[in-house]
Amino acid sequence: MINDLWYKNAIIYCLSVEAYMDSNGDGVGDFPGLMRRLDYLHGLGVTAIWLMPFQPSPRRDGGYDITDYYNVDPRYGTLGDFVEFAHGCKQRGIRLLIDLVVNHTSDQHPWFQEACRNPDSPYRDWYVWADKKPKNANSGLVFPGVQKSTWTYDEVAKAWYFHRFYEFQPDLDTASPHVQAEILKIMGFWLQLGVSGFRMDAVPFVIAEKGAKTGKPVEQYGMLRTFREFLQWRCGDAIILAEANVLPESDMSYFGDDGDRMHMMFNFAVNQTLFYALAAAEVKPLVKAMEATRTRPQTAQWGSFLRNHDELDLGRLTQKQRETVFQAFAPEADMQLYGRGIRRRLAPMLQGDRRRLELAYSLMATLPGTPVLRYGDEIGMGDDLSLPERNCARTPMQWSPEPHGGFTAGDTPTMPVIDQGPYGYPHVNVAAQRRDPDSLLNWMERIIRMRKEVPEIGWGEFTILPVDASCVLAVRYDWRNNAVIVIHNLGAAPLEVRLDGGAVGDVKHVLINLLSEDHSHAGEDGQYRILLEPYGYRWYRAGGLDYLLRRTEI
């Protein structure tokens, strides 16, 4: 058993098997197709893959409505194909994370069906029931505007059941010892098949008290320790990456004061303020969010991300800030969702402006944490707003200029491939970009490579360096006698940034540029003067005669 903290300096790549690569021409991506693309991912330099749900499911919520936790949806292959894939990852030194969706099942899951049919079934207590419509039935909706209620009457069960999400996703009673035992069994099953951990779905709801009489749900944090203990007993280097969009003051309750709960969490506070910073060219709220989320146990880690498969949730910004982001990146009503977010992909939000895309990904790669990249972002894929809700940003991967972007040799991809406009596959595809040394794909590969060589970011402590421009973020990371300084100009105008030599603390009076030959030397007055172009960014290692290399061994 190894207790390796590999996730502290990793590059995670999230993909959906369904949308990645179809090997048999039926229009649905599958494991054998994904297997053929493993060397592509290896070449890109990702160190971990996060697979979105691939278990059997009616797929009314992108697979987050599971009917069998111990299998692979036959459209994607078999358990045998999964194991081949897991082995392929292992051979290449790539870690595999999978979604763990245990807040709820599909209403088609045999447990729920049995629970409805037979009130004496042991499965009845696996779900959350009420005889009468609860008073809180219209509150706590996660998908306002689409979801109608959090309680629905089932004709067969002759009772109301609770569902935090859509009505076809009945909540499991996660407080039940039987349900908890089953959750551990599910984790054990996939660990045995070679995964290195789980992206745990909807964690605050998993641990919330559930029931008709519950007012403001109280979190049962002890459950998180139970999950972690089990995971580490079975597999010392496996992790849980929690999806928990909570206020920073709750972070430590999720990580655990002794680092005994979640290993990783997505940093939603930084995500939202980062988009505000990009929209308003103003970094103050971002810095505030970075400071507010600074504290975490040594072994814990943030997941830094830009866009994911859901809407970009801006619910925690002030109304004014949210309006600024909407104005800049989603001015039309159709681009917004659930009254709080944006459903577009990043490239169209930034109008395909390469300078801004590089700026955004450079920021993502250098914020405190481990970057989590979404499939297609490496080539700047767009969205299809004619598709409902969040599906607009879940279209198939664009591999080549061949029909359907090379995703399928069949005629009918389940989800249409984007074929029109500036983001259509004839223009945006992997084959074209891999031949072009200046493409976004090749830039991404270089930035991933460099990020892996800068463990100071994943492991170190950060300091915000004072600069006198509100659109510039300058951050220094220190770790084991090494220091790295990253500077980003979020503004549209060029400017000169002055960094005080004292703050930089550079013994050799030189900042080594990690991405080009353009190093920076301190002036007579000990100040560094750095000229930044519009949306410009710099990664420097402080001092060190050995050029790119770190000063001490790690």
- Active-site positions? 201, 243
Q: In what order do the strands lie in the sheet with 472-479?
A: 461-464, 472-479, 482-489, 537-542, 510-513, 520-521
Counting every residue, how long is the chain?
A: 554
What minimum distance in Å lies between the beta carbon of 205 and ligand NOJ?
A: 8
Phi and psi angles of residue 231, each rounded to the nearest 5 degrees, phi first: -55, -45
Query: Least separation, in Å, of the C-beta of 343 and ligand NOJ?
Result: 12
C-beta closer to ligand NOJ: residue 205 or 459: 205
The residue among 338 and 479 lying less far from ligand NOJ, judged by its C-beta, is 338
Spatial distance between the Cα atoms of 69 and 206, rounded to a whole number of angstroms: 16
CB closest to ligand NOJ, residue no = 64
Q: How far is the CB of 502 from ligand NOJ (least distance, A)?
A: 45
CB atoms within 10 A of CB 141: 17
Angstrom distance (rounded) from CA 258 to CA 203: 19
Which segments within 254-317 are labelled E, that is strand?
264-266, 301-305, 312-313
Site residues for ligand NOJ per CB under 6 A: 61-62, 64, 101, 165, 201-202, 243, 309-310
In 3D space, the residue among 378, 549, 545, 518 whose CA is nearest the CA of residue 455 turns out to be 549
CA nearest to 308, candidates 342, 336, 332, 283: 342
How far is residue 164 from each of residues 9, 200, 400, 539, measured CA to CA in Å? Answer: 34, 16, 40, 43
Half-sphere exposure (CA, 13 Å, Cβ side) for 124? 14
Which residue is listed with tokens 């459209």? 75
CB of 473 to ligand NOJ, least distance (A): 28
Minimum CB distance to ligand NOJ smaller for 241 or for 286 = 241
Comparing CB distances to ligand NOJ, the nearer of 114 and 389 is 389
- State in angstroms the smallest separation of the CB of 481 from ligand NOJ: 40
Shortest distance, position 192 Cβ to ligand NOJ, whole Å = 24
Concatenate the DSSP letters of all residues of 137-174 into one string.
GGS--SSBTTB--SEEEETTTTEEEE-SS-TTSPBB-T
Q: Toward ligand NOJ, which CB reaches closer, 50 or 479?
A: 50
Q: Which is nearer to ligand NOJ, 101 or 342 (CB)?
A: 101
Alpha-carbon gap, residue 223 to 107, rounded angstroms: 24
Question: 18 vs 243, which CB is nearer to ligand NOJ?
Answer: 243
Rounded distance between C-alpha atoms, residue 108 and residue 312, angstroms: 29
Residue 62 Cβ vs ligand NOJ, minimum distance, rounded to whole Å = 6
Q: How are the residues of the chain apportioned to helix, strand and coil, as percentages rounded to the nearest 5?
A: 35, 20, 50
User: Toward ligand NOJ, which CB reaches closer, 205 or 528?
Assistant: 205
DSSP per-residue codes, 41-76: HHHHT-SEEEEPP-SS---TTTT-S-S-TTS--TTT
Q: How far is the CB of 338 from ligand NOJ (least distance, A)?
A: 11
